[in-house]
Amino acid sequence: MNKLRIFRLAFLLYCCFQSLQAQNTDQKEIHFVGGGNIQIDEKRFPGAQIFQKRLNQVEFEHDGARMFCDWAVLYRKEQRLKAFGNVLFKQGDTVNMRSGFVEYRGSDRIAVAYDTVVLQNNQMTLEVDTLHLDRNKQMAYYDSFGTVKDTANVLTSQQGRYYMEPKKYEFEQEVHIENEQYTMTSSRLDYYTTTKNAYMYGPSTINGKDYRIYCERGFYSTAVEHGYGIKNTRIDYNDRIIYGDSLYFDKKREFASASNNIRVLDTVNNGVVRGHYAEVYKAKDSVFITKRAVAINLVEKDSTYIHGDTLMITGKKDHRILRAFQAARIFKKDMSGKCDSIHFDQQSGLIQLITRQPEMEEKRFAAKNYPILWSGQNQITGENIHLLTDVKGEKLDSLKVFNHAFVIEKDTLAENQYNQVKGQELYGLFEDNKLKVIDIYKNTEVIYYFYDEKNQLVGIDKTVASAMKITLKENQIEDIFFYTNADGTINPEEELPPNARRLSGFVFRGEERLLHQDSIFDADDRNIELVHIRGLEEGYFMDQNEPDKKPMEERSKPRSKAMLNPNDKHKSKQVKKQ
């Protein structure tokens, strides 16, 4: 038994010895290659060898890296080297570093360079006063001001890291990019020297010749000037300011798009468009917006809201045209309306409420599809309705209804009683944004309930005339004046049966009336599911040339390859036929 124990102990010691010997063999030493004299100066450099160049610089080698300098101090026991004067540190094709001084530790393969450090490869040049080089992690970093130059950009920052394998920089604090076409500033930015792509992780601004982009997380291709932002993003673009949860920009195509919680501000015409998907074409001076889209004409204390399944704004800044398609709505204090589509010329101030052309089998129900306008208690319908606004005064000026004009006012003193006026054409005038006078022409008819001072019904006026004028007070009919050829009487209530108290074509649509600005949206608008903006919660972007692997240890947040897809499109909802 004792012999067996001794044998086991001897075998264990032998294994340990072999392991230590293997470790010593694997640990590569710093080798002096040549080019200088060797000296010893224990007083100045105890335990070290001093190498001084002669004709050529002193050269050293360690584990695939080579170093050249004017003179050096080597501590063999600690495997530590100090290189002075015109130092060149080379590692294959990945590192070519020049400086005034380098201290290198062979044990952990870390170098610190001082005094006008220049790191170069085929894609870029880094200039900094002090640079740390970690060969194990294939990373270089600096904590003082540094400058990076490549074929397209000049980048500066207070702090930076360079990862050699993906050829990526991580810049922090006062990051600045200078390009002939634009400038960029950021609090934190990743930059890939091969693709020249920049990924922004903090407050960042890009200033181009005719655009400005701000975001707090996003991507930008510095080579071709396109990119996107996915956090607190804003684009100033062609007299418009665009806000959205996600914004995409392409300088070459002169195009920008946005998704979720969008606002497009017209800085010239004092208007704003909202929605959840938008496209802006600079060359065509057009904006397309959908998904709960609404245009707001910003008028002091009395804004006009226009909604449609799709909104399109075209034209130069001095002549914008707004079009609302499918299930269009308009809302303004004391006035609202519905129609198939709206055309608004902001230069002339003309707003057109346009009808949908019915199918043959629907023509007998055409009145139900006519544009409709509510002014106070008055319901106004017709084939086409025009509203003219005073552009300078920013007030409603006049109203025109073409073909089958019909005005209905619900009697407030009795149920199922309606004052009614109809004709072929209607012209109205506004005063202080309230309808005051209405003129109706061609084959006009009227049914009107007369009351005395005690609100007792006197009779029902039923008259036919060639034309008539109606005056209103507080949006209610006050007086009716007939022009020539009036034919009618005031009938006692009992002598006019219920079926005779409705003019031909009577359709009351009081349940459709829009009572507040949010009522312009239907159930589909209110139940829209917003697209998922990928990349925001993951907190990391990966460039196309970065290997799919876990991030460096320095990163505290998890990363993912998830990125925003700028090609996500919205499929417009199908509007039900009225």
pLDDT in tens, 384-410: 999 998 777 667 889 999 989 999 998
Q: Within its chain, how far is the Cα of 117 from the centroid?
A: 40
491 vs 102 pLDDT, higher one? 102
**Whether residue 552 has pLDDT greater than 70:** no
- Over residues 114-132, mean pLDDT: 91
Per-residue model confidence (pLDDT) at position 93: 78
> Which pLDDT tens digit goes with each residue over 442-500?
889 999 898 888 888 888 889 898 888 988 887 788 888 887 777 878 888 888 888 88
The share of the chain scoring above pLDDT 70, in percent, equals: 85
Among 377-386, 422-431, 443-452, 541-550, where is mean pLDDT lowest?
541-550
- Over residues 38-51, mean pLDDT: 91
Beta-bridge partners for 184:
177, 206
435 vs 559 pLDDT, higher one? 435
Among 82-91, 145-154, 402-411, 487-496, where is mean pLDDT lowest?
487-496
CA atoms of 103 and 119, how far apart (whole Å): 15
CA atoms of 239 and 242, how far apart (whole Å): 10
Say which residues have a Cβ less than 8 Å from residue 446's Cβ, sequence separation at least 6. 420, 421, 422, 461, 462, 463, 465, 468, 480, 488
Residue with tokens 């609100």, as numbered in its chain? 455
From first CA to last CA, the distance across the chain in angstroms is 102
> Which pLDDT tens digit goes with each residue over 302-328?
788 999 999 999 888 778 899 998 889
Confidence of residue 22 (pLDDT cuts 50, 70, 90): very low
Beta-bridge partners for 31:
61
Report in angstroms the alpha-carbon separations of 525 from 327, 471, 528: 11, 38, 6
Q: Within its chain, how far is the Cα of 81 from the centroid?
A: 53
> Which pLDDT tens digit goes with each residue over 65-81?
999 999 999 999 999 99
Q: What is the CATH number of domain 2-144?
A: 2.60.450.10
Q: 24: part of which helix (H) or strand (E)?
A: helix 2-26
Say which residues have a Cβ less than 8 Å from residue 119's Cβ, sequence separation at least 6. 95, 96, 97, 125, 126, 128, 131, 140, 162
Per-residue model confidence (pLDDT) at position 15: 45
**Whether residue 9 has pLDDT greater than 60:** no
Residue 262 near residue 269 (C-beta atoms within 8 A): no
Q: 174: part of which helix (H) or strand (E)?
A: strand 168-178
Mean pLDDT over the full length of the chain? 82
> Which pLDDT tens digit goes with each residue over 253-297?
888 899 999 999 888 777 899 999 999 888 888 899 999 999 988
Return the closest-CA partner of residue 439 out of 409, 410, 401, 411.
401
Per-residue model confidence (pLDDT) at position 521: 87
122 vs 273 pLDDT, higher one? 273
CA atoms of 59 and 71, how far apart (whole Å): 9
What is residue 22's three-state secondary structure? helix
∠ CA 408-409-415 to the nearest 5 degrees? 115
Amino acid at 355: T
- Over residues 349-369, mean pLDDT: 68
Residue 171 near residue 159 (C-beta atoms within 8 A): yes
Estimate the share of the chain in helix, then strand, then coil, as percent rounded to the nearest 5. Answer: 10, 55, 35
Per-residue model confidence (pLDDT) at position 453: 84
CA atoms of 395 and 390, how far apart (whole Å): 5
Token reading at 543: 């460039």
Confidence of residue 5 (pLDDT cuts 50, 70, 90): low
- Over residues 207-222, mean pLDDT: 90
Residue 144 near residue 168 (C-beta atoms within 8 A): no
Q: Where are the domains of the chain?
A: 2-144
Per-residue model confidence (pLDDT) at position 152: 83
| Cα dihedral value 297, 303, 304, 310, nearest 10 | 60
Q: How many CB atoms lie within 10 A of CB 476?
A: 12
Helices marked H in 290-377? 366-369
Q: Give Dmax (Cα) for the chain.
A: 139
Residue with tokens 């991030």, as numbered in its chain? 551
Backbone angles phi, psi at 418, to 5 degrees: -135, 130
Per-residue model confidence (pLDDT) at position 498: 85
Q: 13: part of which helix (H) or strand (E)?
A: helix 2-26
